[in-house]
């Protein structure tokens, strides 16, 4: 069973859509998983691969309660820009303990933590459903980075796509999703970085790993 849920609206009023998939009745209860892409609008492969994953899950449901947000930043995706319509880097806007107002060029964190409607929508969903497993899909590296309790999941996904596994993305990420939910929350957080490939190739490389993240027996 699945349903589309509007979890919020962007700065420009576009709906932020999540697709909720329920597992089969025989599946052992597990905390929900949330997968999201295009938090940066100039990284469209995440949105593409998660849309393809949704099609896959229509044919064979996941093994756990699963929420997929193909595009967290629809305004940026439509414009081809990294940041949202307020020119805020949403992955520096989360209320993590390391959020700071200072920033490098292109990484504006907002006037305050979780000032942006897109960030608010994702945070509210996570709080409401009690999710504990997260996969954020980015580009352009060939990498699986983990925070919190995400190491085993990252390593298992890497067995399917052959990507490098690291404890973090290798550079400071104040106010990031990973900082709030992985470092601060000690939850299961994985960042899947997909290199800039043709859409079909990106999906072929990552289909099995993304399915693993939402399937049994994990």
Residues marked active site are found at 193
Q: Would you state the structure tokens that stand for residue 158, as one six-digit string? A: 């890497």
User: What's the rounded Cα separation, in Å, for the pair 7 and 80?
Assistant: 22
Beta bridge mates, 136: 36, 191
User: What's the rounded Cα separation, in Å, for the pair 176 and 109?
Assistant: 9
Helix (H) or strand (E) holding 35, with range, is strand 33-37
Residue keyed to tokens 């079909």:
200
The CB density around residue 48, as the number of other CB atoms within 10 Å, is 19
The CB density around residue 30, as the number of other CB atoms within 10 Å, is 17
User: What's the rounded Cα separation, in Å, for the pair 19 and 54?
Assistant: 8
pLDDT at 25: 83
Q: What is the CATH number of the domain that holds 165?
A: 3.40.630.10
Sites in the chain below the pLDDT cut of 50: none
User: What's the rounded Cα separation, in Å, for the pair 192 and 186?
Assistant: 18
User: What's the rounded Cα separation, in Å, for the pair 42 and 88?
Assistant: 13
Q: How many domains does the chain have?
A: 1
- Angstrom distances, CA of residue 66 to CA of 17, 18, 26, 56, 212: 14, 10, 15, 13, 12
Domain that holds residue 170: 2-214
The three-class DSSP label of residue 28 is coil
pLDDT at 172: 87
User: What length does the chain have?
Assistant: 218
pLDDT at 1: 83
pLDDT at 169: 76
User: What's the rounded Cα separation, in Å, for the pair 124 and 196?
Assistant: 31
User: What's the rounded Cα separation, in Å, for the pair 39 and 90?
Assistant: 6
pLDDT at 45: 98
Tell me which residue of 36, 50, 82 sits closest to 202, measured CA to CA: 50
């Amino acid at each position: 069973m699945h349903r589309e849920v509007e979890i919020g609206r962007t700065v420009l009023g576009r709906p932020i859509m999540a697709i909720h998939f329920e597992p089969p009745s025989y599946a052992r209860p597990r905390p929900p998983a949330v997968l999201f892409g295009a938090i940066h609008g100039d990284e469209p492969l995440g949105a593409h691969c998660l849309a393809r994953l949704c099609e896959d899950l229509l044919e064979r449901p996941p093994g756990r309660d699963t929420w997929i947000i193909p595009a967290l930043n629809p305004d940026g995706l439509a414009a081809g820009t990294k940041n949202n319509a307020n020119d805020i880097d949403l992955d520096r806007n989360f209320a993590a303990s390391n959020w700071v107002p200072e920033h490098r060029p292109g990484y504006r964190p907002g006037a305050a933590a979780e000032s942006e409607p897109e960030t608010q929508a994702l945070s509210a969903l996570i709080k409401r459903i009690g999710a504990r497993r997260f996969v954020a899909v980015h580009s352009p590296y060939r990498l699986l980075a983990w925070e919190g309790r995400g190491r085993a999941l990252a390593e298992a996904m890497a067995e399917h796509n052959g990507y490098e596994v690291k404890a973090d993305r290798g550079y400071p990420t104040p106010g990031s999703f990973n900082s709030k939910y992985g470092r601060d929350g000690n939850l299961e957080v994985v960042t899947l970085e997909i290199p800039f490939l043709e859409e079909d190739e990106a999906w072929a490389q990552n289909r099995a790993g993304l399915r693993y993240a939402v399937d049994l027996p994990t």
